[in-house]
Amino acid sequence: MTLEILKKFLHLKTKTLRSSKNVIIHHYCPHTYNAGDHFVILSIRHHLKRYLPDAVFVPKPIADNRGWGAPIGLRGQNIDFSNKYADAVILGGSDQYHDWSPRVSKKEIHTLIPPLFLIGLGVSSKDMDQPAYLSDEKLKADIIATNNKCVLSSVRDEETRSFLRDLGIMHAINTGCPSLYLFHQEFHARKGREVALTFPYPLARNDENKFNILISTMRDIVHFLHKKNLVPVIVCHDDRDVGYAQTIFHDEYLFYSNYPGDYFELYDRVLMVIGSRLHASILASGMGVPNLNVNLDLRGLGFTRDMGMQDWHVNYNQPCLSEVVVARIERVLTGDLQVFQVLSENINKKFKVFDKFIEDTALSIQGRK
């Protein structure tokens, strides 16, 4: 094959790389063994496919992929790959504004050709009274450039929208966390004896005082549940949880899986979900399962405030934390679910906003196909 013929072949192939039958979406998202990440990923794709049934999602890892492949991030050769193959690019899920996890750079993002959509991103913080965490002020320029590049931007709570507004980004829409809408079930009293307690691994290495408070509280709850002839289940959302949970709660049932469906089955049968894994509380809320989130930082506060649950969820530094949590459990055991009716109404209202955002995203992608 002569050089001229080869150049002609490559030129023709370049012109036909994108599918004529499908909408190819490159989904940049956390690819870890953390269940919460996958709840968000599944929900985003499920709802987009309601409007784009021919969508094909190609996962691309961002941040700490922990074994899910390389290259990582919306940068370098990944941008080249998306420019060549994608009809649209979405960056979706979890604490991406926390220390600007994706590390999308203002120096590169302008080279992205397919339309970019930010879906359900959120902030986090070091503690309850701390601002959204960024280790380097220069990251703000990258966040601004990425938001200016995107067609549509959504955030999971008002805390995140306020963070962006302080940067001059005014167009982000508060849709709630996508995992809230993976299921859409009404709250009802549950049968059975299991109560899920979600385990807070990251605090073991980041904040010893906070970790000790939560573990002490969990031990008190376990003792109370046994007195009630109930079965506590120590639920690990992350593979790194398991060793700590084994060590601290070696006489209790543990649960971990790297398959999201296993969590759906577990949470669907338990009496209640309690703990500091925010995506457990969010998922349970969408499933209609009574739950109590122990807020650790802006993530929990954002969900609590947006959903009108300030009089139900608790902060880890609240005085007499164990007694307060036990009192909440007692209310659920009596069948008092009134607080969750308020939550259900707020979820329904917020879903309308999320659904409109997803529809607008789909229409935009179709229009650019």
pLDDT of residue 122: 96
166 and 27 in a common domain: yes
Is residue 189 assigned to a domain? no
CA–CA separation, 364 and 109 (whole Å): 19
pTM equals 0.93
Is residue 335 assigned to a domain? yes
174 and 69 in a common domain: yes
Could you tell me which of 140, 132, 133 has the C-alpha nearest to residue 159? 132
Q: What is the CATH number of the domain that holds 228?
A: 3.40.50.2000
pLDDT of residue 140: 98
CA–CA separation, 78 and 282 (whole Å): 31
CA–CA separation, 91 and 153 (whole Å): 9
Is residue 186 assigned to a domain? no
Is residue 185 assigned to a domain? no
Is residue 279 assigned to a domain? yes
Kindly state the greatest CA–CA separation across the chain: 82
100 and 236 in a common domain: no
313 and 241 in a common domain: yes
302 and 264 in a common domain: yes
357 and 300 in a common domain: no
Kind of pairing between the strands at 152-155 and 116-121: parallel
Is residue 188 assigned to a domain? no
pLDDT digits (tens, 9 = 90+) for 119-138: 999 999 999 999 999 999 99
Is residue 173 assigned to a domain? yes
Residues 268-277 have a mean pLDDT of 96
264 and 139 in a common domain: no
171 and 280 in a common domain: no
The domain tally of the chain equals 2
332 and 360 in a common domain: no
pLDDT of residue 32: 81
Domain span at residue 35 reads 3-178+350-368
Q: What is the CATH number of the domain that holds 150?
A: 3.40.50
pLDDT digits (tens, 9 = 90+) for 5-64: 434 444 444 444 677 789 999 999 987 888 999 999 999 999 999 999 999 999 998 876
290 and 359 in a common domain: no
Instruction: Say whether pLDDT at 90 is over 90.
Output: yes
128 and 13 in a common domain: yes
245 and 142 in a common domain: no
* Dihedral angle computed from the Cα positions of residues 354, 357, 361 and 363, in that order, rounded to the nearest 10 degrees: 110
